[in-house]
Chain A
Amino acid sequence: MRIRAERDDLADVLGRAARAVSNRSPLPILQGVLCEVEGGRLRVTGTDGEITIRTSLQVEALEEGRTLVPAKLVAEAVRKLPAGAVAMSSAGGQVEITGNGPRFRLRELNVDDYPATAPKATSGGITMDGDLLTRALNQVGVAASGDDARPTLTGVLFEADEEGSRLVATDGYRLAVRDLAGAENFPTTLVPNRALKEVSRTIGDSKITVDLGEREATFGSERGSMTVRVIEGAFPPYRHFFGSFPNRLTVPREALLDAVGRASLVAEDHIPVRLNLHQGGVELSITRQEVGEETEHIEGDFQGEDMTIAFNVRYLTDGVAAVVGDDVVIHATDPVKPGLVTGTDEEGFRYLLMPVRV
């Protein structure tokens, strides 16, 4: 295999594919990225056995072939070469990378040991606005769990809704829903959030194709593709939580975020911020016995009966930050029932969170 390409382009395709490679992978061979040259294109594949990222680049192909090189090292080596043309070739168990002076000779990994990663035949998938998808994934992803003890909560649910498609995630304490009105219906699939975080970083583009299969989900764009094994198991039923909320507070989003940020200086993760909702706005207060307290008032519009409700500071911050627009609405029923955070400018995003009993 022998190619020439621009440093930035080559570093980009290697770096993005290398994001799938994990240092904790049980198979040493998966520390490598597979580079294949055929028909004037370099195809780069990285995988940790669960997530596979494929990227490709038009290159000057001097000799077709394939090689397997340590992922992080090759990506960094190319990135740190001087700007301009870079040559990469493999021979005699070594991969040589040169560009404007410096020369790396890296030990090749045994390419024959690399697992088959050829893309599976797909059913075509659903092509949608890439920015809309990645923004929606970021909005719901904050609510997904990172605890592998409950695998079904570590994913984002893709499902069809009456008016389009929907993304849902929960960690058991909060739940985020993002409706994608007008989007073609997703088949019900649970996709690991760990992989979805990589969508915008690795293949983000103006158009993204989503192909949800029974065993794998593939996200593709002109920049490459990411395939991940889907999560088996049932997502917990959640629709019954969205009943009516008699109390409703509307406040400026930035003001609330700033206030909760100040409160978090006093709080530790387990100390909630109290929201005293009343006519004219909300009073936030937080007390940590060994440190002190903080209180402040934010003016806003409140409809309902005065009440106090307390939330985990981080969960509240995540929900308010995910809302798009100038104002945020907090809906509440009573101090022990879920609260709901929504925006006023954008339809379709709802963030439900359980209060903390105080």
Chain B
Amino acid sequence: MRIVVAQCTVDYEGRLAAHLPMATRLVMVKVDGCVAVHADGGAYKPLNWMNAPNHLLDEGDRWVVTNLKGERLTITFGAVHFDTRVDLGEDPGLRKDGVEAELQRLLAETPGVIEPGLSLIRREHPTPVGPVDLLCRATDGSTVAVEVKRRGEIDGVEQLTRYLDFLARDRRLAAVRGILCAQAIKPQARQLAEDRGIGWVEVDYDLLRGLDSPVLRLF
């Protein structure tokens, strides 16, 4: 990563023309070739940038970055305050919050969100074709298999159908029915679920997490 803090002007020609007048900015050249020009504000979006693959021609006080689309980014430097190269090493990647796993954990703690009166029998209940996310007991004594997804799609319904098929063969369980539970469920998945007698429920992940958002909601 090359990091330059300098006075510069920036001219972009391509899909449109844009000009940044002379000012002090941060210019980053990443190891993959991406070039980004930042102002001293905003969390993530550069003022101007050029994605890789591109070609950077370093003429000392002027960099010309071009790409195959015919776009051109010209950075003309004035006073340079800082210019260094740092090897950041290999990126371990972004550790996401594991929404699906977290959603399953939260729903296991509060199964009543899925259906009033529902109580948890166990998480990851094994079947010959894989574990059911949540196995629950309904108020009428029936067993409810819950498949938890971030987004409910047809695959999720198919998966739950397979689990239900095997769970129904287990004589120790009472009548078994299924519920697909997700943050959002696609209309086709709902249709298929209803057609197969499977219930579906959309849940609000943020509400389950109890985030202290300043934005208050009616529903």
Contacts and interface: CB of A to CB of B under 8 A. Distances in A.
Interface stretch (B18-26, B170-178, B210-218): B210-218
Interface string B94-127: 0000000000000000000000000000000000
Given A149-B183, A149-B184, A290-B41, A357 B214 contact: yes
Contacts of B214: 356-358
B71 interface: no
Contacts of A164: none
B154 to A, nearest CB: 16
B217 A356 contact: no
A336 B216 contact: yes
Interface in A330-345: 336, 338
A170 B183 contact: no
A238 B218 contact: yes
A241 B218 CA distance: 9
A150 B217 contact: no
B202 A175 contact: no
Nearest to B212: A357
A336 B215 CA distance: 10
Nearest to B194: A232
A238 B218 CA distance: 9
Given A149-B183, A149-B184, A150-B202, A352 B218 contact: yes
A356 B216 contact: yes
Contacts of B216: 173, 336, 354-357
Interface in B177-201: 183-184, 187
B219 interface: yes
B183 A173 contact: no
A356 B213 CA distance: 9
Nearest to A241: B218
Q: Which of B183, B184, B215, B218 has most chain A Cβ within 10 Å?
A: B218
A172 B41 contact: no
A241 B219 CA distance: 11
B218 A354 contact: yes
A123 B41 CA distance: 61
Interface residues of B, number: 11
Contacts of B219: 153, 170, 172, 236
Contacts of A354: 215-218
Contacts of A175: 218
Interface residues of A, number: 23
A213 B214 CA distance: 40
Nearest to A272: B214
A348 B184 CA distance: 34
Interface string A224-268: 000000000000101001000000000000000000000000000
A272 to B, nearest CB: 8
Given A149-B183, A149-B184, A290-B41, A172 B202 contact: no
A350 interface: no
A290 B217 CA distance: 27
Contacts of B184: 149-150
Contacts of B218: 170, 172-175, 236, 238, 241, 338, 352, 354
Contacts of B41: 290
A312 B202 CA distance: 26
Nearest to B40: A290
Interface in A265-322: 270, 290, 312
Interface in A127-153: 149-151, 153
A330 B103 CA distance: 39
Contacts of B187: 151
Nearest to A153: B219
Contacts of B202: 149-150
B65 to A, nearest CB: 28
Interface string A145-185: 00001110100000000000000001011110000000000
Contacts of A270: 215
A270 B218 CA distance: 17
A153 B204 CA distance: 14
A149 B189 CA distance: 13
Nearest to A291: B41
Nearest to A352: B218
A355 B215 CA distance: 7
- Most chain A CB within 10 A, of B41, B184, B216, B219, is at B219
Interface in B114-148: none
A128 B184 CA distance: 37
Nearest to B215: A356
Nearest to A175: B218
Nearest to B214: A357
Interface in B1-58: 41
Given A151-B187, A170-B219, A354-B215, 16 more contacts: A149-B202, A150-B184, A150-B202, A172-B219, A173-B215, A175-B218, A241-B218, A270-B215, A290-B41, A336-B216, A354-B216, A354-B217, A355-B216, A356-B214, A356-B215, A357-B214
17 contacts: A150-B202, A151-B187, A153-B219, A170-B218, A172-B217, A173-B216, A173-B217, A174-B218, A175-B218, A236-B218, A270-B215, A290-B41, A336-B216, A356-B215, A356-B216, A357-B215, A358-B214
For the complex of A and B, list the 4 residue pairs with the smallest distance between their C-beta atoms, beginning with the closest.
A149-B184, A354-B216, A357-B214, A236-B219
